[in-house]
Chains A and B, each alone.
Chain A
Amino acid sequence: MPQPTPFHERTAALCTSYAWKHWGGYYAVCHYDESPEREYNAIRHAAGLLDVSPLYKYDVSGPGAGAFLDWVLAKPVSALKRGRVTYVCWCDDDGKVLDDGTCWRLDKQRFRLTAASPALWWFLRHADRFDVTVADVSADLAALALQGPTSKAILADACDADMGALGFFGLTEARFDGGAFTALITRTGYTGDLGYEIWVEPVHALRLWDLLMHVGAAHGIHPIGLDALDISRVEAGFILQGCDYTAASDALIPSHLSSPYELNLGWTVKLDRAPFIGQRALRAEKARGPAWAFVGLDIAWEPLERLYAAHDLPPHLPLAAWRTPVPIYRGMRQIGRATSGAWSPTLKRNLALASVEAEFAAVGTVVDFEVTVEWERCRVPATVSALPFFDPPRKRA
Chain B
Amino acid sequence: MKITEEEVRHVAKLARLDLTDEEVTVFSRQVGDILDYVDQLNSVDTQGVEGTSHAISVNNAFREDKAVDSMDPDLALSNAPEREDTDIIVPKVL
Do A and B originate from a single complex?
Answer: no
Chain A residues in the interface with B (C-beta under 8 A): none
